Structures are given as C-alpha cells and as structure tokens.
Amino acid sequence: MSTQVPALLDGLVDDAAVFPPGSAALPDALAAHRQHRTAWYADLVGPLLVPASKVARGDLGGLVDPGEGLVVGVIGDTGIGHLPVALSFLAPDGVTARQIEVAVAKRGEDPLPGIAELLRLTGTVPGVEAVYAELPLTFGLMGALDALAAARADGVPIAAKFRTGGLAAELFPTPAELAAVICACRDRGLPFKLTAGLHQAVRHLDAETGFTHHGYANVLAATLAAADGDSVEAVAELLTVVDPRPLLERATVRLDEPRPLWVGFGSCSILEPLTDLIRLGLVNGGYDA
C-alpha cells in the first residue's frame, strides 16, 4: 500500500544509522538509506547523517555514484574548525551537504565563543541549507539562543540543536527543562532540532538504558502547543503524559499543516519510529520489514 506521509511529519526523522546504538557500517547504512529514499514513506526521511571524521577519511569514496545525488548531513564530531576539511571531500563524490551540525560548547562552558566561530564558518560553506549549533542545557543557554536568533534575523541559516538523551542521566532534560527550551525557541522564532533518546513515540521507561525517555509524539504535541501560544507549564504537561490520546488530539487536526519550530530528530532506525506512527494512526500504510 502506498500512502503519502502527511505534511506535519515531512522530514521528521533524519537517518542516523551509523551512530549509536545502531552503529551500522557506512556501506550498510548507505544501502538502507537508498531503500528508505525510494520507499512509500520517503517523505518522512531526512538526510543520511555522517560523522565529519568519516568524511574526512574519505570513507564515502567508492561507495557513492556521483550521479545519484546523495544528500547528507555532516556531524562535526571533530569540532568546528575541522568541518571545512570534511566538507571539501564531498563534491568530488557528487555528495551534497544539506546541513552541518556541531556542538559549540561542553556543559558548563560559555557557548558564545563557539557560536561566533560557527558563524564565521557559515560564510565559507555555500550550498549548505542549515547549520545546527548544539547547545548544552546549562550555563549561558538563553544568551546563546539570543545570538542564534539575531544571526538568523540577519539571514544566516542557523538554528539550535539540543540533546534529549544519552549514556548519562544529566543528558536527559526534565519535561520542565525541555518545555522551557521549546518555548524559548518559540519566543525567538528559532527552529530547533533534537538528538538522542527519542526511540519511541510516547514517553516511557527504557528497560535497556534504565532512563525515562522522551517520546517524539510528546515533543510534537508540545511543540504544536507552544506554537499555539500555550504556557511553559502546559507544554511541560504534554511532555509528561504516557497516554497517547492527548498527543493525538493535538496532532491529528494539524496533519495537513507544516510542522512549526521543530525541524526533527535523528534516529539510528527509520522503521522503528515509522512503526509507531502507523500504530498511532498518524501515518496510514505498510512496509516490508
């Protein structure tokens, strides 16, 4: 059965197959990504995310047909300063970097110097549609969001990125913290992306990690509420619920509208979130597993 992915979910899930916990080999990730891009649910799928370290080693060489028009997102695991070197490897293989994503500070560091360095870089990478500055949810966050919003107002295609999970408890923001961030981006007209921990649609305790994970359907409903002008408290409430019904009430009436604010998230599995979306009735369709 072939079914169009609704506008609200367009490009929601970037393909992070090579990153943990999936950690697929790059040739396998590329083969699977090509299948995703030609499947009936292709509109759900964003670019393949590739670490800058792998790109700079030339790992894509020989794996890509220059005529296929592969689009990737480059993750700056080697830092801001090394991104230009990695990006220089893409054009000879016919690969386009739609976006670059990089952490601008560690927890407890002032993010403004990293943002300034990243903004200098953006003028040297023509063709990149989006730059995501990953911000720790600690010291200097609101000032960092102000700096990103000011740069965006000047025409720089920059946005925020936040971590919503990982291997340590402090990497999981509380619902109140995440709601405050969503509303802060709302107040600044600043798009944001999320990464890590969003393995399932609804908030849940993960038996493998031992942590309570945010659900991406919770984030979707919370973002819609924020865009509608709801308070931080109301947005936080939607992030806490484990019953999908109030989340679906928010989403189903907006399926034909573009998704506000939240650009999406990376997932090492595409079929896992797709399965949940089908189960919840947000996508109607089927696939061959």
Which CATH number do you get for residue 11? 3.20.20.70
Q: Within a domain: residue 159?
A: yes
Total domain count for the chain?
Answer: 1
Q: Is residue 154, in this structure, part of any structural domain at all?
A: yes
Q: Is residue 286 part of a domain?
A: no
- Kindly state whether residue 287 falls inside one of the protein's structural domains: no
**Which domain range does residue 272 map to?**
7-280
Residue 108 amino acid letter: G
Residues making up the chain, counted from first to last: 289
The pLDDT value recorded for residue 286 is 54
* Alpha helix positions (H), 39-174: 52-56, 83-88, 112-122, 141-153
289 falls within a domain: no
- pLDDT number for residue 3: 56
Q: Which residues are registered as beta bridge partners of 195?
A: 163, 266
Residue-level pLDDT at 155: 94
Q: How far apart are CA 84 and CA 125, in angstroms?
A: 7
Query: Looking at the domain assignment, is residue 285 inside a domain?
Result: no
Amino acid letter for position 228? D
User: How far is C-alpha 16 from the chain's CA centre?
Assistant: 9
- Cα first-last separation, the chain: 14
Does residue 2 lie in a domain region? no
Averaged over successive runs of 10 residues, the pLDDT of the chain (289 residues) comes to 79 96 95 96 97 96 91 96 93 93 95 97 86 94 98 96 90 96 98 93 91 96 98 98 96 96 96 95 69
